[in-house]
Amino acid sequence: MPPSPPTTMQPRKTPIQNRSRVTVEAIYEATIQVLLRDGMNDLTTTSVAERAGVSVGTMYQYFPNKQALVYALNARYLDALAVRIEATCREQSGAPLGQMVEALIETYWAAKTERADVTRALYRSVAELNNDALIHAFAERVDRATAEMFSSARDAVFADVPRANLALVTVIYGTVRNAFERGLSTQAAADLRQDLTTMCRAYLANFSV
């Protein structure tokens, strides 16, 4: 294990021509596959390049080092997730509170479950990365979206929007992740999801008009 260099997470060069865009895309895809197959520990620059069908040199033209590669992959994933959450929030704008909660749970749950193996692999891959900034930026972004959505509810009025928002998103995201890590059966997962909804709605009853 080589020592962790003063890691630069910034991409090295941005693709300009089309073939390089394809290359970079292939590298991302290969990274996921290697992560799934070997795990972060055995993910080597060589194995990724090989799987992507390019040479290591090419990889290093776009990513300054191995960690930056995984970092970028996670940034992508979080961005896609944020986009989905934001879309849900827009759709639910002005809806009743209960429906909002249900929609939010649905979106988050689906995003994590659809490709459970990828989700799990990514969770593991970032553990040793300096991704606090990434996580915080993501949290701020989606918190803003959900807070705005809740504010727009036609059947509620909040004394302290940020507080209620934090409570809801923390409980929802935390529960989904925990449920996911437990590897629940389909039935148990469905029950849990319903109970989670129940809980959130019970909490929200405090604010209904």
Residue 45 interaction partner, one of DNA, a copy of itself, none, beta carbon < 5-8 Å per kind:
DNA
Q: Does 179 bind a copy of itself (CB under 8 A)?
A: yes
Q: Does 6 bind DNA (CB under 7 A)?
A: no
| Binding residues for DNA restricted to 50-69, rule: CB under 7 A | 54-58, 60-61, 64-66
| Binding residues for DNA restricted to 22-41, rule: CB under 7 A | 22-23
Q: Does 117 bind a copy of itself (CB under 8 A)?
A: no
Residue 19 interaction partner, one of DNA, a copy of itself, none, beta carbon < 5-8 Å per kind:
DNA
113-151 per-residue burial string, b: 16 or more CB within 10 A, e: under 16: eeeeeebbbbeebbeebebeebeeebbebbbebbbebbe
Residue 119 interaction partner, one of a copy of itself, DNA, none, beta carbon < 5-8 Å per kind:
none
String marking each residue 138-177 x if it binds a copy of itself according to CB under 8 A: -x-----------------------xx-xx--xx-xxxxx
Identify the CA nearest to 36 among candidates 92, 120, 108, 109.
120
Q: Which of 9, 30, 43, 172 binds DNA (CB under 7 A)?
A: 43
What is the distance in angstroms between the CA of the first residue and the CA of the last residue of the chain?
A: 59
**Chain position carrying tokens 């639910």:** 92
Cα separations in angstroms, 87 against 25, 30, 116, 173: 25, 28, 21, 17
Number of residues that bind DNA (CB under 7 A): 28
Residue 58 interaction partner, one of DNA, a copy of itself, none, beta carbon < 5-8 Å per kind:
DNA
C-beta separation of 92 from 145 below 8 A: no
Other beta carbons within 10 Å of 29: 14
Angle between helices 116-126 and 97-113 (to 10 degrees): 80
Positions that interact with DNA (CB under 7 A): 1-3, 5, 13, 15-20, 22-23, 42-46, 54-58, 60-61, 64-66
